[in-house]
Amino acid sequence: MSDWFTIGQIAPGVLRITEPHVHEFFRANLYWIEGRDLDIMLDFGMGLSSLRSVLPRRGRPVLAVATHAHVDHVGSFHEFEDRAGHPLEADIFVEMDDAGTFASWFAGMPDALSQLPSPGFDPRTCALKPAPLTRLLVEGDVIDTGDRRFSVLHLPGHSPGSIALLDEVNGEFFAGDAIYDGGLVDDIAGADIRTYVETMRRIAELEVRIVHGGHGESFDQARMREIARAYIDAKSGT
């Protein structure tokens, strides 16, 4: 555990990183995925402390992939040189505007933090740094790390450009906020319930072994399908 982040290995070559002192609603899961030729950093927390400084130093290129542009997933995105995301949210990464990131929601929460990342830190004054994409990822693209291949899935609904990574060989599914075991958010600007229902229909048919979501604990295929079908049942008439 670092001073700010909690870091734990959840699978061979995979670290899950969280910010335990951030309010639960904004406490995202960040994933470091080691590859033979390329490492992947997936999502970037609130940016309140340097993420890059706590990552393994392996001397390999790092591809930084943002599953979407919300504040709890992009805070340290700017610390990486090679940045990838979906083109539907590319403009948000350029400006990191509040309309796309919802950063002011966090800044305005009276209990946003249970501990300060540094003495005198004031969450009301923190601002996201622009991080323009250097690579666009769309449905069907593949990220090859040398010993693993991740298919890019475009799974909109929570946000227009939400993406996920799936290793079809070992069934490891990094889902971002498309699906996780908790209260899914579909009532914010950019979210679309009908689109989300169609995404859940697709997710319910995926063959996976384990799901690493954008929040909460990892879960298996049976639980993934249970969450997806419950959402479909609850929202199909909306």
SS3 180: coil
pLDDT digits (tens, 9 = 90+) for 159-193: 999 999 999 999 999 999 999 999 999 999 999 99
What is the structure's pLDDT at 127? 86
Which is nearest to 141 in space by CA: 128, 133, 132, 150?
150
pLDDT digits (tens, 9 = 90+) for 31-65: 999 999 999 999 999 999 999 999 999 889 999 99
Domains of the chain and any CATH numbers: 6-235 (3.60.15.10)
Q: Could you tell me the two tokens for 114?
A: 């249970």
SS3 172: strand
- Whole-angstrom distance, CA of residue 82 vs CA of residue 61: 9
State how far the alpha carbon of 103 is from the alpha carbons of 75, 107, 113, 122, 212, in Å: 10, 6, 14, 14, 24
Surface-to-core class of residue 124, CB atoms within 10 Å of its CB (0-12 exposed, 13-18 middle, 19+ buried)? exposed
Amino acid letter, 88: L
State how far the alpha carbon of 161 is from the alpha carbons of 47, 99, 121, 206, in Å: 21, 15, 32, 19
pLDDT digits (tens, 9 = 90+) for 67-115: 999 999 999 999 999 999 999 999 999 999 999 999 998 888 889 899 9
- Whole-angstrom distance, CA of residue 231 vs CA of residue 27: 22
H helix or E strand, kind and range, residue 151: strand 149-154
Tokens 């799936």 found at: 166
What is the structure's pLDDT at 62? 98
What is the structure's pLDDT at 120? 81
Q: How confident is the model at residue 121 (pLDDT cuts 50, 70, 90)?
A: confident
Q: Could you tell me the two tokens for 47?
A: 């940016």
For the chain, the farthest-separated pair of C-alpha atoms sits apart, in whole angstroms, at 51
